Structure 1
Amino acid sequence: MPRGNIAHGLTVLAGPTAVGKGTVSTYIRDHYPHVWLSVSATTRPPRPGEKEGVHYYFVSPERFDELVAAGEMLEWAVVHGRNRYGTLRSTVEQAVAEGRSVLLEIDLQGARQVREKMPEANFVFLSPPSWDEMVRRLVGRGTETALEQQRRLETAKLELAAESEFDHTVVNDDVQRAAAELVSLMGLAPSERT
């Protein structure tokens, strides 16, 4: 399939750290079976409960370099100055070829790369209800050290400033409501949402 055609049926979801991108995406995976949620590759180690091929493909830095060099990444980025994340082009192309509605949950850098390659894709910014709530979520999940939390909050300030680059904004004040709004923006018919 020509690479220029993969943007049809493609929605990109991005937003600041701790906004709940993973939570909203998981809700969509569990409640909207017609949406195909892309699984990213990453060089970071798994967090407790994360499973290979479900949450991420966990790869070594060397393997990630090989994938980038071979042009097998639709997008990729270094996140928080530390770990790399990327979307495998082949998995997205296959899902679109099968007629699936594809959702990429990625960071801001990755969203910008996809926009350069596929400006016709649908770009959705997931926003927190407030800065204080985002800080509470980041600290409350307890998966990062205090230093890492501070690094992520500095990054979040820059990410929030990019909201105007997106086609739509969804406020994540309630996971179920935010997921339903996102799926609606993906253009799915009501019968495809359950």
Structure 2
Amino acid sequence: MIAADKAGGEPGPGEAARARLTVVSGPSGVGKSSVLAELRRLEPDVFFSVSVTTRPPREGEVDGYHYHFVDRPAFEAMIEEGAFLEHAEFAGNCYGTPRQPVEEALDAGRPAVLEIEIQGARQVRAAMPDARLVMLVPPSWEDLVGRLTGRGTEATDALRSRLTVAAEELSAAEEFDSCVVNTDVRSAAEELLTLVSGRAVS
């Protein structure tokens, strides 16, 4: 189900529909990566932003595809230049969304998608007020708890902390323009595509 979209409106007479940036957020375990991978498969023309990070590449990661890998001085210089739509630091590493590729995609008429956490979504809304914010949510709190506990990869304290953060993130849903419930990956991706591109999946 898609909540009513509160951002923007229909183009006026003689106005062309304009490509828009869509920011997708949601709690850990809700399935963002799976849904966005399906969205990419359904509509290859959608532009997916590649973040910049100061952390070293992991095995199998490709520079320019998974991330743009830079050192901290280069990242700080990009901050000074205003090159980011949003940026943050986690666990000693910096991450940011470069502004120029997103704006170039939108100028070319390609809808663009960012997958970032809620604080970053707020920064993007401040930098680009026309951006549409979409929260991917679970069918229920019990479903999300089941997904996280079903992983069996985290200690009890870490899991409790993750659930606390998830509850805080879900409580911010009213700040978002739309919510997509991830009951099924394919259905959620199709609903997200309708928001991103303005057309239904045939």
1:72 aligns with 2:83: yes
- Which of 51, 55, 58 matches 2:69? 58
State the match for 1:155 in structure 2: 165
1:19 touches 1:172 (CA, 8 Å); kept in 2? Answer: yes
Question: What's the offset of the Cα at 1:162?
Answer: 0.3
Distance 1:145 1:99, change over 3 A: farther
Question: What's the offset of the Cα at 1:48?
Answer: 6.1
After TM superposition, list the pairs within 5 Å mapping 1:6-155 onto structure 2: 8-44=19-55, 50-79=61-90, 83-140=93-150, 148-155=158-165
Question: What's the offset of the Cα at 1:67?
Answer: 1.9
In the superposition, the TM-score normalised over structure 2's length comes to: 0.77
Q: Which structure has the larger Rg over C-alpha atoms?
A: 2
Code of the aligned partner of 2:47: W
Code of the aligned partner of 1:12: V
Structure 1, gaps ≥5 residues long? 1-6
State the match for 1:181 in structure 2: 191
In the superposition, the TM-score normalised over structure 1's length comes to: 0.80
Question: What's the offset of the Cα at 1:143?
Answer: 7.1
1:41 touches 1:58 (CA, 8 Å); kept in 2? Answer: yes
Question: What's the offset of the Cα at 1:83?
Answer: 4.2
Question: What's the offset of the Cα at 1:13?
Answer: 1.0
Question: What's the offset of the Cα at 1:53?
Answer: 2.4
For 1:58 and 1:186, the matched residues in 2 are separated by: 28
Structure 2, gaps ≥5 residues long? 1-17
2:19 touches 2:110 (CA, 8 Å); kept in 1? Answer: no
For 1:179 and 1:104, the matched residues in 2 are separated by: 14
Question: What's the offset of the Cα at 1:126?
Answer: 0.7
Question: What's the offset of the Cα at 1:141?
Answer: 5.2
Residues 58-109 of structure 1: per-residue CA shift (max 9 Å, x gap): 3444433222222111111235x65432210111111112110111111101
Percentage of matched positions with identical amino acids: 48
Distance 1:165 1:84, change over 3 A: same
Distance 1:67 1:146, change over 3 A: farther
SS in 2 for 1:124: strand
SS in 2 for 1:63: helix
Distance 1:67 1:147, change over 3 A: farther
Distance 1:105 1:173, change over 3 A: same
Question: What's the offset of the Cα at 1:34?
Answer: 2.2
Distance 1:20 1:72, change over 3 A: same
1:8 touches 1:121 (CA, 8 Å); kept in 2? Answer: no
For 2:28 and 2:76, the matched residues in 1 are separated by: 24
Distance 1:41 1:138, change over 3 A: farther
For 1:107 and 1:37, the matched residues in 2 are separated by: 15
For 2:150 and 2:72, the matched residues in 1 are separated by: 29
SS in 1 for 2:123: helix
Between the two proteins, the alignment pairs up a number of residues equal to 185
SS in 1 for 2:96: strand
